[in-house]
Amino acid sequence: MTGPREPHDPDRGRSTGDHPRHENHPGFANYPPTTRRVGGRRQPLPPLHPVDSGPTEEIRQPGPGAPKPPPIPRKLTVTRVAAMRSRELTNKGIATFHRAAKADGADKSGLTALTYAVMANFATDAAIAVALANTLFFSAATGEDKTKVALYLLITIAPFAVIAPLIGPMLDRLQHGRRLALASSFALRTVLAVLLVFNFDSWALYPAALGMMVLSKSFSVLKSAVTPRVLPPEIDLVRVNSRLTVFGLIGGTIGAGAVAGIIAFATGSTGVLWFAALLTTLGAYLSMRIPAWVEVTEGEVPATLTYHGNDAHTEVIGADRKETVKASKRRQPLGRTVITGLWGNSTIRVMTGFLTLYIAFVAKSRTGHEPLEQAAMLGLVGAAAGIGNFAGNAAGARIKLGRPTVVVLRCTAAVTAVAILVALTDSLLTAALAALVASGASALAKVSLDASLQDDLPEESIASGFGRSETVLQLSWVIGGALGVLLPTQYWIGFSVVSVLLTFGLVQTVLSYRGSSLLPGLGGKRPDVANQEITKPISTAD
Count of CB atoms situated within 10 Å of the CB of 10: 17
Please tell me the class of the 103-298 domain: mainly alpha
- Give pLDDT, residue 210: 72
Query: Can you tell me the distance from the alpha carbon of 434 to that of 494, in angstroms, rounded to the nearest whole number?
Result: 13
User: Could you report how far apart the first and last alpha carbons of the chain are, in Å?
Assistant: 23
The answer, yes or no, to whether residue 151 has pLDDT greater than 80, is no
Find the radius of gyration of the CA atoms of the chain.
25
Residue 420 banded pLDDT, cuts 50, 70, 90: very high
Q: How many helices (H) and strands (E) does the chain have?
A: 18, 4
Judged by average pLDDT, the poorest of 14-28, 342-356, 391-405, 439-453 is: 14-28
The answer, yes or no, to whether residue 416 has pLDDT greater than 60, is yes
Query: Can you tell me the distance from the alpha carbon of 346 to that of 340, in angstroms, rounded to the nearest whole number?
Result: 10
- Give pLDDT, residue 282: 94
Give yes or no for a contact between 217 and 160, defined as CB atoms under 8 angstroms apart. yes
The answer, yes or no, to whether residue 505 has pLDDT greater than 90, is yes
Task: Report helix, strand and coil shares of the chain as percent, to nearest 5.
Answer: 70, 5, 30
The answer, yes or no, to whether residue 171 has pLDDT greater than 70, is no
- Give pLDDT, residue 140: 52
The answer, yes or no, to whether residue 170 has pLDDT greater than 80, is no
Query: Can you tell me the distance from the alpha carbon of 319 to that of 7, in angstroms, rounded to the nearest whole number?
Result: 11
Q: What are the pLDDT digits (tens) for 110-136?
A: 888 889 999 999 999 888 888 876 565
Residue 12 banded pLDDT, cuts 50, 70, 90: very low
Q: Is pLDDT larger for residue 80 or for residue 237?
A: 237
Q: Is pLDDT larger for residue 11 or for residue 455?
A: 455
* Domain boundaries, given as residue ranges, for the chain: 103-298, 303-541
Q: Is pLDDT larger for residue 506 or for residue 165?
A: 506
Q: What are the pLDDT digits (tens) for 391-408?
A: 887 776 666 666 889 999
- Give pLDDT, residue 53: 47
- Give pLDDT, residue 224: 78
The answer, yes or no, to whether residue 541 has pLDDT greater than 60, is no
Q: Tell me which fold the domain 303-541 belongs to.
A: Growth Hormone; Chain: A; (1.20.1250)
Which residue pairs from 142-146 have beta carbons closer than 8 angstroms and sit at least 24 positions apart in sequence?
Answer: 142/364, 142/365, 143/361, 143/364, 143/365, 143/489
- Give pLDDT, residue 528: 85
pLDDT averaged over the chain? 76
Q: What are the pLDDT digits (tens) for 247-306?
A: 888 888 888 888 988 998 888 888 999 999 999 999 999 999 888 777 766 667 888 888
Instruction: Give the best-scoring range by mean pLDDT among 32-46, 384-398, 407-421, 479-493.
Output: 407-421
Amino acid at 76: L
With a CB cutoff of 8 Å and minimum separation 6, the contacts of 473 are: 342, 345, 346, 349, 446
Give yes or no for a contact between 173 and 227, defined as CB atoms under 8 angstroms apart. no
Q: Give me the phi and psi of 103, to 5 degrees please.
A: -65, 155
Q: Is pLDDT larger for residue 394 or for residue 354?
A: 354
Q: Give me the phi and psi of 277, to 5 degrees please.
A: -65, -35
Query: Can you tell me the distance from the alpha carbon of 436 to that of 385, in angstroms, rounded to the nearest whole number?
Result: 5
3-state secondary structure of 66: coil
The answer, yes or no, to whether residue 35 has pLDDT greater than 50, is no
- Give pLDDT, residue 21: 41
How confident is the model over 405-433, as a mean pLDDT?
92
Q: What are the pLDDT digits (tens) for 178-232?
A: 788 889 989 999 999 999 888 877 777 777 877 787 788 778 878 877 887 787 8
Residue 37 banded pLDDT, cuts 50, 70, 90: very low
The answer, yes or no, to whether residue 369 has pLDDT greater than 90, is no
- Give pLDDT, residue 181: 85
Q: Is pLDDT larger for residue 435 or for residue 481?
A: 435
Please state, in angstroms and as integers, the Cα–Cα distance from residue 223 to each residue in 121, 243, 434, following that order.
10, 13, 29
- Give pLDDT, residue 465: 82
How confident is the model over 158-167, as a mean pLDDT?
62
The whole model's pTM is what? Answer: 0.70
Nearest to 19 by CA among 37, 42, 44, 33: 37
Q: Do domains 103-298 and 303-541 have the same CATH topology?
A: yes
Residue 46 banded pLDDT, cuts 50, 70, 90: very low
- Give pLDDT, residue 156: 60
Judged by average pLDDT, the poorest of 63-77, 211-225, 336-350 is: 63-77
